[in-house]
Amino acid sequence: MNVTEFTRRGWLALCASLVLGTAGCGGDAGVPGGPAPQPSTNTSGSIANAAPSDGTSGGAPAQKKVVLRFVTNSNADWWNAVEKGMNDGGKEFGVDVLMLRNNQETSGQIKLLEDVIGLNEVQGVAVSVYEAQAPGIADKLRELKDAGKIVITIDSDIAAESASIRRAYIGTNNVKAGEAAGRAAAVLRPDGGKVCVFVGTSSAANARERREGFFQGAGPKFTLLEAFDDGGDFGRAADNVQNAITKYKDIGVLLGLWSYNAARIAEQAKAAPGVRPKTNVVTFDLDELAVDHVAAGNIDVTVCQNPYEMGYQGVKLLKALILKDEKTIKEVIPDGAVRDTGVRVIVPNTESPVLKNKDKGDNVITIEEMKSWLASKGLKSS
């Protein structure tokens, strides 16, 4: 055999062994120019063939996982319920989602939004706007949109003149929620009364709308004494209640507009001699610390949102918008722009005059009924 013939046969043998060695491996590994199998490291550190991220098998192209971020307006316990709904939605819909909590400042929310703008993998963002009129926040939402990210608002919306920045709003119709609180106050105090208002920032959309709705629902017999802003500082929130009680001896209603205000009002009003017999406590949401205060009668009524639903529906809608799933989009926002997650009016017990004389349009339930619902969702607040 000459050298040329030996070389030719050697190459044929080598090629045959390569074909036999790759038979049965699947994919395109045996096709000239086809991709070789790519290794991946599992949780134990060993090397294994990578599985498609969307759970498909046998060479189907993996769909890029949807990545979302939720940006809060504060760090109150109320957000735990939103986070639970968000995480449940993330698991159900196969979405990577994370909540970023603001430190109760406009500058803090702007910084969080700037961080998200720089995350190329994030495709959708849900924001509870801390200060609706703040141009800096509106600018950052616009930058998110210009960066190709889908933007929605939850809980607290952007100012009406900037509404085109966000694709949709999911949350409470806060004017209607305020009206329900006002109607409850009118039942508790048929002769009306003077009102002190407590809130993180009065310029937030939900704060303005709840306050407006309250006085609409309560009627002309109720008048505003003063609104106290605390900037999200819990200590200052308690001090504001003390100051109001000292300054105004004729307060008829202590009205807390944000979730954490409820427990601070209840604690200070209970501790101040002679205040509770002549003053009603009306709040919003059901902060974890407020649950026992409602049960004990230290809070006469609280208008409770459905933050769990905001988180869950927010994930569902953002994924549908990103994937252009028109059927699901219409399911979540039938009108194309807003999803009202509704409210419950919570009272201490069945003897509450609010329950006995409820408006036919209000969903009034006792704290025990509400606690049962919370337990069914694995929640401690709402």
Residue 223, C-beta contacts closer than 8 angstroms, at least 6 positions apart: 192, 194, 195
Find tokens 């409850």 and name the residue: 184
pLDDT at 183: 97
Q: Mean pLDDT, to the nearest integer, of 360-380?
A: 92
Find tokens 């490291």 and name the residue: 41
pLDDT at 60: 46
pLDDT at 63: 60
Which domains, and CATH codes, for the chain?
67-171+308-340 (3.40.50.2300), 174-304+349-377 (3.40.50.2300)
Q: How far apart are the first and last CA of the chain?
A: 88
pLDDT at 42: 32
Written as six digits, the tokens of 153 are 């608002």
- Rounded Cα distance between 340 and 310, Å, is 9
Q: Mean pLDDT, to the nearest integer, of 128-152?
A: 94
Q: Mean pLDDT, to the nearest integer, of 158-166?
A: 93
pLDDT at 37: 34
Q: Mean pLDDT, to the nearest integer, of 168-188?
A: 96
- Rounded Cα distance between 340 and 378, Å, is 23
pLDDT at 104: 76
Question: How confident is the model over 214-248, as pLDDT tens digits?
Answer: 999 999 999 999 999 999 899 999 999 999 999 99
Question: How confident is the model over 10-43, as pLDDT tens digits?
Answer: 433 433 443 333 333 333 333 223 333 333 333 3
Average model confidence (pLDDT) across the chain: 86
Written as six digits, the tokens of 228 are 């106290």
Q: Using an 8 Å Cβ cutoff, are 191 and 220 in contact?
A: no
Question: How confident is the model over 241-291, as pLDDT tens digits?
Answer: 999 999 999 999 999 999 999 999 999 999 999 999 999 999 999 989 999
Residue 269, C-beta contacts closer than 8 angstroms, at least 6 positions apart: 241, 245, 254, 275, 276, 279, 281, 298
Question: How confident is the model over 307-328, as pLDDT tens digits?
Answer: 999 999 999 999 999 999 999 9
pTM of the predicted protein model: 0.73
